[in-house]
Amino acid sequence: MYRKLTFILAVVFALQLVDPADAQQSTKKPLTVAVLLFNGVELLDFAGPAEVFIVSDHGNAFQVVTVASTTKPIKTMGGVTVIPDYAYSEAPKADIVVVPGGAMSNVSDEGVSWIKKAHKTSKVTMSVCMGAFLLARAELLDGISATTHRWGLSGLRSSAPNCKVVRSRRFVDSGKIVTTAGVTAGIDGALHIVERLLGKEQADWTANEWMEYKRPDDTKDDN
């Protein structure tokens, strides 16, 4: 009887130490973040957002995978070698899709088809920098507001004539589509998505505590 009572007290004590919110979060399946890769992809365009998602909620909320035409090594802009996790045909269903910029001409029609397909079932699809032009190729910018690197703003107006192109913004949230300005702005867009899905406290922890990154005051939605 004494042993049974001791065991019960130990369990009760242990439960008191566990935050119910933490316990609930630990049982949730991480959201899958699929990051597009291709030869000549801009390194920080995909690595910055990937870092945000990888560390958010202490690494519990997201699982980041990379997707390309094949799983053969690719060279980023600048020559860093990266091995993609999945080919388009084998990629898992994505909750969040990240489309970076770089040498976008190396993204085939098959790649654009994958973007379209992944977007249909995603919660959010985000472009970084010139990656907005890939969303334009996929016809995902019609009727919404979007942005890109400042060097590409006029070109995006031509590529997506039915899109309202926004300048001087780090990111533009148009609901299911989030687009960002150049390179480092992808970090801001990813942190914004984390805030949308997990709350401001989690986004601030990721930015301030882990990345030591100062978020800009750019939180206006464009829905």
Could you state, in chain order, the average pLDDT of each consecutive group of 10 residues for the chain (223 residues)? 42 42 61 98 98 97 98 97 98 98 98 98 98 98 98 98 97 98 98 97 96 78 44
At 15 the pLDDT is 39
Please indicate, yes or no, if residue 6 is contained in any of the structural domains: no
End-to-end distance of the chain based on CA atoms, in angstroms? 63
pLDDT for residue 217: 74
What is the model's pTM? 0.85
HSE-CB of 42 using CA atoms within 13 angstroms: 23
State the pLDDT at residue 27: 60
Q: Which residues have CB under 8 Å from 46's CB, separation 6+?
A: 35, 36, 37, 66, 98, 100, 128, 186
Residue 21 lies in a domain: no
Helix (H) or strand (E) holding 201: helix 200-204
136, burial (CB in 10 Å: exposed 0-12, middle 13-18, buried 19+): buried
Number of domains forming the structure of the chain? 1
The confidence score (pLDDT) of residue 218 equals 52
Please give the Cα distance from 52 to 69 (Å, whole number): 24
**CA gap 98, 37 in Å, rounded:** 9
Residue 35 in domain: yes
Task: Supply the range of the domain harboring residue 185.
Answer: 29-210
Residue 89 belongs to a domain: yes
Q: Do 98 and 35 contact (CB within 8 A), yes or no?
A: yes
Answer yes or no: is 13 within a domain. Answer: no
Residue 106 lies in a domain: yes
In 18-99, where does DSSP find H-type helix? 20-26, 43-59
59 located within any domain: yes
SS3 13: helix
Which CATH number is 121's domain given?
A: 3.40.50.880
Say if 130 falls within a structural domain. yes
What is the torsional sign of CA 216, 196, 53, 184?
negative
